[in-house]
Structures are given as structure tokens and as C-alpha cells.
Amino acid sequence: MRAAIIGFGNMGQMYADLISSQGWELIGVHDIDSTKVKSDNVFRDRLDLISHPQVDVVIISTPHRQHLPVLKECLKYGKHVILEKPMGGSAAEAEKIYKKIQKHKNRSIVVVNITHCFYDNIQIAKEKLNNSLVDSITAIYDTVVFPIKEEERDGWLFKKEIVGHGVMLTNGCHLLARILHLFSDYRPKLEVTAGVFANTNRLGNIEDSSAHMRLDLVLSNQRRLPVSIFVNWPMAKSMDEAIKESMEIHTSQGILHVQAWEKFSFTQIL
């Protein structure tokens, strides 16, 4: 497979390492600030790279609000696409992206990169939930604390006006993807109850961010499970303060604890 990368910040460089480790060929990279790109295959013109006849797949790892215009160019030239999450900077942008993908689905394959569902402990938790015949879920608690270097705090990823909805948009897609994956055997849908979502802090930028939302988890049998979701994604100043991602799901059968990279446990209610 021969790949191109559009957007060569931290994620773009991670993709370059993955391409190398998988035996793919990196045809070229493009970034709006080409002076910061450390690569022998820099294309100053984005379209020159996207339209290159040797490129099979384009990896889009630009800021979220630049996804749609770059995706349009990739689909115009019939390229396959790996799109870094989230799809866009808003629900409206995501809807436009979805419609564009549907229009070109016979020519191109588009994959949105949501990786958290494939953690070992998420898989174990999914099996446990599906074997428990869960009757109800009362609450889900989700916590991630990121270590952010001082020089990174002015980066675009932490500016609400650029990202779209700050920390909620960036991490919320992982949260919802994990919930849908954990309950996929129930064929669930998520429906946010109108007027209940509320920020409890300045959700966005670099400040500590937390939120509480009330939604309905609608299962395949149309049974509605009202769930409260509490999320807390503050930024740490050092690795010592950082907490790897953890989720706690309160069910009628017990409390499911999932720490994505380290451990899993289930405390049964007797």
C-alpha cells in the first residue's frame, strides 16, 4: 500500500511510523507549515500529493475543521482515506462528510480512526456485559487525564474556537464509540435528551474540563435505559499527574471497572 499524509503534526508523525512498521510505502507528506516537517518527501502543494498517481490511500490528520475540504479532494481523485477522529468540527460538518462518503462509496473506502474499542480490556468488558444480560444502566463515569507540556498548551488542539467544541469533541467521540461498542450486541442507539446536557466547567481550551449529560440508550427491543454520563478530562502538568483512561459502568448486576490499558474488574451486586 502506498500512502500520503496530510497534516504532519504529532498524529501525522505517528502515522508515518506505523506506515514504516507495516511495510507500506510513504509517497509524501504535506503540512500547512512545511518548515516544521522533517521528511524527505515533503509536498508543498497539497493537491499535487493527493492527485499523485502512486498514492493509494491518503491519511488526513489535519485540525478537525480542515477535514471536509481535504476529504473532498481525496474523493475527487478516487483515493481511499483514513480520517483521523473526530470526523469534523461539528455535527453539521460530520453530516456533510457522511453524505460525501456515501456519494463516493463505490470508488473510495473511508475509515474513521477510532481505536479505543480495540483495547484488550474493552474486549473483556464487552464479553462480560453481554454475558450478564444487563437490565439497566444507571451511570457511566469516564476519566482521562492528559500530560501536556507547557509549550503545547497553545496548540490548536486545545483551542475551542479552532477545534469546534474543545475537549468534549476530541475525547467525546472515543467515549461514545466505546459505549456503542460495549453494547453492540444489543444494537443500541444513543439519543441525547433535549436540554439536559450541561457543562460544569469551561469545556474547551486547556482548562480542566468536565461535563454531565443525560441520554437514553435505546436497545434493539426499543427498551429505553436512561443513563447519566459523567466525564472528566482535565490536563495534567506532568506524567506523574496523568491517569490513563478509565471507565466505570453502573449496571443492575454490578459495577464494571475498565482501565483501558491496565486492568478490568467487575464488582457484583448481591
pLDDT, residue 172, reads: 73
Question: C-alpha dihedral over 93, 201, 147, 151, to 10 degrees?
Answer: 80
If one looks up domain 116-268 in CATH, what number appears?
3.30.360.10
Helix or strand or coil: residue 29?
A: strand
In sequence order, the 6+-apart residues with CB closer than 8 A to the CB of 139 are 227, 228, 229, 230, 249, 250
| Burial profile 232-249: b = 16 or more Cβ within 10 angstroms, e = fewer | bbbbeeeeeeeeebbbbb
Which is it for the CA torsion 135, 233, 166, 72, positive or negative?
Answer: negative
Q: Is the pLDDT of residue 252 over 90?
A: no
Mean pLDDT score, 90-117: 90
pTM: 0.77
pLDDT, residue 61, reads: 94
Helix or strand or coil: residue 140?
A: strand
Q: Is the pLDDT of residue 203 over 70?
A: no
pLDDT bracket for residue 40 (50, 70, 90): confident
Say how far apart CA 134 and CA 156 lie, in whole Å: 41
- With vertex at residue 121, the alpha carbon angle to CA 269 and CA 199, rounded to the nearest 5 degrees, is 75
- Per the model's pLDDT, the better-predicted residue between 10 and 196 turns out to be 10
Q: Is the pLDDT of residue 206 over 50?
A: no
Q: Where are the domains of the chain?
A: 2-113, 116-268
pLDDT bracket for residue 73 (50, 70, 90): very high
Q: Is the pLDDT of residue 117 over 60?
A: yes
If one looks up domain 2-113 in CATH, what number appears?
3.40.50.720
DSSP state for residue 90 in the 8-state scheme:
S
Low-confidence winner among 26-40, 65-79, 88-102 (lowest mean pLDDT) = 26-40
Query: Beta strand pairing status for 57-60 and 80-84?
Result: parallel
CA-wise closest residue to 55 among 5, 110, 92: 5
pLDDT, residue 158, reads: 65
Low-confidence winner among 101-105, 121-125, 258-262 (lowest mean pLDDT) = 258-262
Helix orientation angle between 166-182 and 120-132, rounded to the nearest 10 degrees: 50
Query: Beta strand pairing status for 243-251 and 210-218?
Result: unpaired
Mean pLDDT score, 38-53: 90
Q: Is the pLDDT of residue 6 over 60?
A: yes
